[in-house]
Amino acid sequence: MDFALLLQEALAELQSETSLAVVRNGTELGQFLGGAGDQAGQPLPNIILLDLTLPGKDGFEILQDRKSSPEFATIPVIVFTGSTNPADVGRSYALGANAFVSRPAGFEELLHVMQAIEEFWLEIVSLPRNSELHP
């Protein structure tokens, strides 16, 4: 099953009010975060769950691009990937990832991880809204 669908199912199971925007490759994500999403009337995300193995631009390239975009630089990026490779963990943090989470094996574990991500990043942490940074 598509991992994005599993994430949507997990959010529904948690009765979350969080919406999930899905882009299928690194190029789409770069365009979305480069302002195309905002110009299309869609708000920029509060957080980004980033897979390292995106087609087109991979997750490492997206992290590198993040440093040169003022809008993108303020959005926390959680690398959420199938990798458990210590080199991927280190490189992700070196490129500015805010967290690195290996995908859980089962749905119950995914529920726990998604609940923790929501609680920490959307309830506990204070994040600037895009309108506060660029009036």
Q: What are the pLDDT digits (tens) for 88-130?
A: 999 999 999 999 999 998 999 999 999 999 999 888 998 876 5
Residue 101, strand partner residues = 80
Residue 37 within any structural domain of the chain: no
Identify whether 19 is part of a domain: no
pLDDT of residue 86: 96
Q: Collect contacts of 9-18 with beta carbons under 8 A, ≥24 apart.
A: 9/107, 10/107, 10/110, 10/111, 10/114, 11/114, 13/111, 14/111, 14/114, 14/115, 14/118, 16/114, 16/118, 18/118, 18/122
- 21 is a domain residue: no
pLDDT category of residue 41 using cuts at 50, 70 and 90: low
**Mean pLDDT along residues 43-58:** 85
Percent of the chain surpassing pLDDT 90 = 33
Q: Does the global pTM surpass 0.75?
A: yes
Separation CA 56–CA 131 (nearest Å): 30
Q: What is the pLDDT of residue 127?
A: 81
Q: Which domain holds residue 113?
A: 1-14+49-129
Find the Cα–Cα–Cα–Cα dihedral 127, 20, 40, 135, rounded to 10°: -10
- Domain count across the chain: 1
Q: Give the Cα separation of 58 and 52 in Å (integer).
A: 6
Q: Is 60 exceeded by the pLDDT of residue 39?
A: no
- Per-residue pLDDT of 13-27, as tens digits, reads 888 888 788 888 877
Residue 118 lies in a domain: yes
Residue 88 sits in a domain of what CATH number? 3.40.50.2300
Q: Is residue 106 part of a domain?
A: yes
Does any domain span residue 42? Answer: no
| pLDDT for 35 | 56
